[in-house]
Amino acid sequence: MRILVAEDLYLLRDGMVRLIEACGHEVVATAATGPETLEALRTWRPDVSVIDVRMPPNQTDEGLRAALAARAETPGLPVLILSQHVEQLYARELLADGTGGVGYLLKESVFDADQFIGSLERVAAGGTAMDPAVIARLLTSGTGNAALDKLSEREYEVLGLMAEGLSNKAIGRRLFLSESAVGKYTTSMFTKLGLADDDDTNRRVRAVLTYLNGA
């Protein structure tokens, strides 16, 4: 993968670059400010970018706004937000175009290299990787969606774990279910949400975005 790393703290930025390259991927550019991030996104159009929320010059939301601006110009441009903060309004805006290729992780919740690289790979492939704390904040401000009301309690649980980026096998381990049982729940869930039987990966993304935007 061709990756952009946008983080204003040198040691953290350098550490991510070294980790990504050690895992066999290429860091095509780095950025330390919001304007640098937007320029790099426009210039390189990387396979995925990992971007901090609060960056110079104002240390508010420059990184996230750069990601939103780039995705407005190039819909679906894969972006993984990595931050200490949950910016609820902008997180929902990041998901609003419904194209996938979005992740939002809290720095304190990333525990190992496999988790981090796995999240980057899922987002690069057009999927989602959402921190449970981010999901919780989004759900508390949701507007409601009648389609979600059709889901059983277990289907809703499965969909929530799918939003974190977990596979059916991983969801099964978390809920103490067989992988085939999880598959049955996801098939039923797709039907209730009115998602056509086409590409399964695309259906998963659309189901997750329905959950995050309309719950």
CATH number at residue 24: 3.40.50.2300
Could you report the per-residue pLDDT of 111-169, keeping only the tens digit for each?
A: 889 999 999 999 999 988 888 888 888 776 655 567 788 899 999 899 988 888 888 99
Residue partners of 66: CB distance under 8 A and separation at least 6: 6, 34, 35, 37, 38, 41, 51
Could you check whether the bond before residue 75 is cis, i.e. omega within 30 degrees of 0?
Answer: no
Q: Are residue 110 and residue 23 in the same domain, yes or no?
A: yes
Q: Are residue 18 and residue 104 in the same domain, yes or no?
A: yes
Domain that holds residue 152: 148-214
Could you report the per-residue pLDDT of 80-117, keeping only the tens digit for each?
A: 999 888 877 777 788 877 778 999 999 998 888 999 99
How many domains are contained in the chain?
2
What is the pTM (predicted TM-score) of this model? 0.81
